[in-house]
């Protein structure tokens, strides 16, 4: 569906998913029970008396106007990031219990306006926070660097006693028996876990919608996508219902929701953060023969991403997960005082729309104005990445996920129904062949990390997160700018730059022939015959920063340098705390 005006879209009640079939299939009753269970875990006193109308597009002010949070709880949820909140608890400005209650309340409100939660365990979180306070009072020592900090998790992470249904009916009613390793580490470092967040059916869509929990809405503008597959995390953090959200990324699933919410998000290399203990709709071990997914942070400040990465790296996770690489945070590669940065302006598959090119140009100009050297990177191999990544996405033919769906006669969502089919798993010979292609492409792409004129090492480069601004619901076009760095296993992060303005809505595309089908569809997101560009106004324009493989600290430092320069020159998009 094309949007001619923001008023052209109406929101369906989540229960509308259950009224379209004449004969009720098993999945429908499961979905109704699951939604009722989720609703029951929100205390009645935390329910909105007057939910915002569907015509209210920006709902970020609802918690403040609701009367549900006290003035102190509003202060806690609006004036701290995870880093400063951890310090406030350490210095006894706030108790872990009052912090937990504040964020549980705000997450409950976020759920009511954005549909961003799946599993709710507020009571467990408040009990744990009380125990942390008691421990601190009796010993004078915090449990770890995340002592008392509320952390939300994507639904894929196993938490003992709670389900990881990933929005699929046949996985409902099967609570995890043990925690994912990353969950254990977060608890050991003092975190308070209080909810899991909504995702797209099959985790294979870029808009977080499923038949069990419904669609996640973007709190900045409920007509544009919240992204996927960590869409619930992005929406919850954007609502300030979480200070630190943990997502996963195998095609852009951290960086895309971060862009949609105007947030920071980092996808590490696959060997950096524990990924074991996930439910992702594939057979056990599939992550090792296809493209390896990564777990990483989504946050309102960049330093919170560092807090997460440092905390996990310094917990020595490689001693418990043999697939991880050694790397204490302080021992990882770092950049010098005058880093060399590069810029890749397009990938050769989809040409960025004018606002995307404009904000990239502004960033390059700001960096050069500050005295940094930014060189143009010619990367002809970049255009090969997406087609090769696509070969990995379909290696099992999708059969496991279809088995899960068909067990309860659950249909694909509307968006997926035209894109996903059962297929034949590829042969061992074909799998070996595409891995050989991957090695060849990885080797070819190594050339981009050296300045061809001077031979100097490039510390990091910038490029678009996507070839378009944050688009309408179900209209994200392609992942070539994000999945390429999963294929190459480069750490990459989303960095918000500034709000979209009226001036950004001007400018026309060239009359040149589209590069291909993806490029043709992308142009439709700028064609005023098929879209009202004003839809982009209450969204953030972002860039992507990329570093060499397993150099997360270098990535963070490069992002920090860029962010500080943009802030100094009044371009940056840092959240107000």
Binding residues for substrate, by number, are 203, 229, 250-253
Return the SS3 of 327: coil
Residues near 249 by Cβ (< 8 Å), separated by ≥ 6?
230, 255, 267, 293, 294, 295, 296, 482, 486
> If we measure between CA atoms, which residue out of 452, 463, 513 comes closest to residue 485?
463
Known binding-site residues equal 203, 229, 250-253
C-beta of residue 163 within 8 angstroms of C-beta of residue 171: yes
Active-site residues, by number, are: 154, 229, 253
Read off the tokens for 392.
Answer: 């990995």
The dihedrals phi and psi of 497, each to the nearest 5 degrees, come to -110, -60
Q: Where are the beta strands (DSSP E) in 226-372?
A: 244-249, 264-267, 294-299, 340-343
Q: Which residues pair with 482 in a beta bridge?
A: none
Q: What are the tokens at 522? A: 């992308």
Cβ–Cβ under 8 Å, residues 336 and 285: no
CA–CA separation, 233 and 342 (whole Å):
30
Of 189, 192, 115, 127, give the one whose Cα is nearest residue 153. Answer: 192
Measure the N-to-C terminal CA separation of the chain; round to a whole number of Å. 37
C-alpha–C-alpha distance, residues 494 and 203, integer Å: 20
Strand partners, 493: 266, 545
Q: What CA–CA distance (Å, rounded) separates 287 from 436?
A: 17
Q: To the nearest 5 percent, what fractions of the chain are helix, strand and coil? A: 40, 10, 45
Residue 27 in contact with residue 211, Cβ under 8 Å? yes
Q: How far is Cα 554 from Cα 116, in angstroms, rounded to an integer?
A: 32
* Contact yes or no for 68/48 (Cβ under 8 A): yes
Would you list the DSSP string of 385-450? Answer: HHHHHHHHHTTTTTHHHHHHHHTTTPPPPHHHHTT----PPPPHHHHHHHHHHHHHHHHHHGGGGB
Q: Are strands 244-249 and 150-154 parallel, antiparallel or unpaired?
A: parallel
Strands (E) in 198-322, as ranges, are 209-210, 214-215, 244-249, 264-267, 294-299
Whether the Cβ atoms of residue 344 and residue 351 lie closer than 8 Å to each other? no
Contact yes or no for 263/243 (Cβ under 8 A): no
d(CA 562, CA 341): 10
Q: Quick one: tokens of 537? A: 């106004």
């Amino acid at each position: 569906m094309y949007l001619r005006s923001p008023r052209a879209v109406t929101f369906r009640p989540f229960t509308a998913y259950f009224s379209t079939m004449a004969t009720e299939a098993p999945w429908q009753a499961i979905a109704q029970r699951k939604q009722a269970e989720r609703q029951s875990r929100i205390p009645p006193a935390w329910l909105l008396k007057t939910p915002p109308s569907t015509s209210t597009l920006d709902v970020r002010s609802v918690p403040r106007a609701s009367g549900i949070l006290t003035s102190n709880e509003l202060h806690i949820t609006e004036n701290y990031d995870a880093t400063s909140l951890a310090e406030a608890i350490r210095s006894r400005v706030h108790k872990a219990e009052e912090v937990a209650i504040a964020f549980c309340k705000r997450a409950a409100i976020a759920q009511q306006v954005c549909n961003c939660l799946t599993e709710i365990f507020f009571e467990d979180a408040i009990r744990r926070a009380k125990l942390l306070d008691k421990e601190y009072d009796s010993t004078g020592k915090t449990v770890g660097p995340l002592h008392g900090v509320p952390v939300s998790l994507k639904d894929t992470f196993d938490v003992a006693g709670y389900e990881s249904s990933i929005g699929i009916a046949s996985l409902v009613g099967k609570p995890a028996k043990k925690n994912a390793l990353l969950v254990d580490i977060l608890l050991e470092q003092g975190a308070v876990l209080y909810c899991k967040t909504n995702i797209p059916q099959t985790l294979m869509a870029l808009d977080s919608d499923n038949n069990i929990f419904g669609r996640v809405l973007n709190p900045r503008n409920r007509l544009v996508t919240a992204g996927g597959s960590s869409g619930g995390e992005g929406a919850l953090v954007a609502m300030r219902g979480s200070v630190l959200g943990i997502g996963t990324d195998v095609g852009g699933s951290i960086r895309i929701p971060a862009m949609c919410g105007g947030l920071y998000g980092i996808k590490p290399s696959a060997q950096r953060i524990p990924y074991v203990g996930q439910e992702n709709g594939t057979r056990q071990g599939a992550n090792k023969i296809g493209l390896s997914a990564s777990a990483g942070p989504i946050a309102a400040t960049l330093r919170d991403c560092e807090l997460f990465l440092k905390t996990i790296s310094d917990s020595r996770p490689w001693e418990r997960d043999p697939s991880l690489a050694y790397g204490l945070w302080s021992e990882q590669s770092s950049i010098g005082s005058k880093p060399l940065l590069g810029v890749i302006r397009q990938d050769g598959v989809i040409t960025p729309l004018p606002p995307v090119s404009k904000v990239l140009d502004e960033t390059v100009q700001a960096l050069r104005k500050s005295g940094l050297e930014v060189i143009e990177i010619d990367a002809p191999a970049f255009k090969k990445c997406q087609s090769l990544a696509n070969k990995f996405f379909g290696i099992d033919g999708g059969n496991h996920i279809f088995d899960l769906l068909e067990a309860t006669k659950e249909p694909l969502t509307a968006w997926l129904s035209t894109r996903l089919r059962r297929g034949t798993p590829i042969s061992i010979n074909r799998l070996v062949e595409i891995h050989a292609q991957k090695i060849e492409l990885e080797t070819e792409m190594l050339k981009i990390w050296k300045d061809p004129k001077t031979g100097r090492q490039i510390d990091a480069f910038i490029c678009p997160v996507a070839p378009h601004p944050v688009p309408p619901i179900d209209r994200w076009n392609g992942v070539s700018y994000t999945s390429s760095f999963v294929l190459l296993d480069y750490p990459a992060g989303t960095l918000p730059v500034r709000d979209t303005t009226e001036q950004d809505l001007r400018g026309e595309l060239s009359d040149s022939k589209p590069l291909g089908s993806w490029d043709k569809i992308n142009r439709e997101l700028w064609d005023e015959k098929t879209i009202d560009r004003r839809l982009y106004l209450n969204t953030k324009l972002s860039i992507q920063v990329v570093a060499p493989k397993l150099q997360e600290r270098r990535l963070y430092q490069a992002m920090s340098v860029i962010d500080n320069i943009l802030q100094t020159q009044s371009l940056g998009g840092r959240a107000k705390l």
